[in-house]
Amino acid sequence: HAKSHEPGTLSYFDAAMHDEAVHHVRLQAEVQAALDEQQFAVHYQPIVDLAAGHVHRFEALVRWAHPTRGLLGPGEFLPLMEETGLVVRLGRWILEDVCRQVAQWREQYDGPVNVSVNISDREFWHAGLVEHVLACLRRHRLDATCLTLEVTEGVIMRRPELAHQLMAQMHEAGLRLHIDDFGAGHSSLQTVHRYPVDALKIDRSFVSEILEGTQSRELVKAIIAMGSALGLEVIAEGIETLGQLAALREVGCASGQGFLFDRAVPGDRAGDLLGRSLVAEAEDAAPRRTST
């Protein structure tokens, strides 16, 4: 490294590297302790059929009940875990815990249940992901159709050919595959149609602007048209208002999730949502909501 030959900088870089290594070791120990002590928890946000169907799907979203920092959302710890690779260990625990939860729900609920699990870049490319997923399913006597894996286009585009092989393997095993945050990256019809994908999840940024201008609305319409041409389901993320719900239905969006229906809630509370129609409930609640 050319810079480290300049007088006075060597010790600086050494110190910075040392700090980083210490931080990494500390984080690793902290994460391991958190896993051992069950500080992580998976919460579940319902994915709703916008034609007032009944809840049977959820997205798993991880939380960390940190002993000193309180309940942390993934934005506060995942980037660093992704950088250090610790996300692989966490992700494996999440898959196991999701399967445990689904098996438990199935004891009290007869209908189909499916949970979408986010798979980060590191996790996706880590050897043995599919084997781990299938082993978790087996341990809990679940069918592969109980799980959906969410992957972003950015992950796929890192190594398109290999991603295709891995996704084909997952899909052949019976797992469902969704493209997360669709439209936010360098999305194109060309990439998506070649991959074994079941649904596109429209990024929240489009949904939040759908009533504000024609552009987001046209984009959402285009994604839905494209999805239906390819035989893909389209799921809208981040629906917060009845106005957004109405606009999405008007352009033919079949499914969605968002705070309008529910936030991500702990597993036992999510279990209580199974079979309910959250669209009807949101609409029924509307007059009360506006009058108070």
Q: Concatenated DSSP letters for 212-262?
A: T-HHHHHHHHHHHHHHHHTT-EEEE----SHHHHHHHHHTT--EE--TTT-
Applying CB under 6 A, the site for ligand C2E has a residue count of 26
Selected binder of ligand C2E within 46, 58, 91, 101 (CB under 6 A)? 91
Residue 74 sits in the site that holds ligand C2E (CB under 6 A): yes
Q: Give one word for 252, left, alpha or beta, with left for phi > 0 and alpha for psi -120 to 50.
A: left
By C-alpha distance, which of 57, 55, 48 is closest to 249?
48
Between CA 256 and CA 50 the distance in angstroms is 7
The stretch near ligand C2E (CB under 6 A) out of 64-72, 73-81, 223-231, 272-280 is 73-81
Residue 258 interacts with ligand C2E (CB under 6 A)?
yes
* Site stretch for ligand C2E (CB under 6 A), options 7-15, 29-37, 139-147, 256-264: 256-264
Smaller CB distance to Mg ion: residue 2 or 203?
Answer: 203
Q: How far is the CB of 18 from ligand C2E (least distance, A)?
A: 29
What is the footprint of ligand C2E within residues 130-159 (CB under 6 A)?
150
Query: Letter for the amino acid at 258?
Result: G
**C-beta of 47 vs 192, nearer to ligand C2E:** 47
Stretch that binds ligand C2E, among 7-15, 213-221, 222-230, 235-243 (CB under 6 A): 235-243
Considering the rule CB under 6 A, would residue 266 count as an interface residue with ligand C2E? no
**From the CB of residue 31, how many other CB atoms can be counted at a distance below 10 Å?**
21
CB closer to Mg ion, 2 vs 216: 216
What whole-number distance in Å separates Cα of residue 261 and Cα of residue 279?
7
Q: 123 vs 181, which CB is nearer to Mg ion?
A: 181
Given the rule CB under 6 A, which residues bind ligand C2E? 45, 60-62, 73-75, 78, 91, 94, 118-120, 123, 150, 180-181, 204, 237-240, 257-259, 264
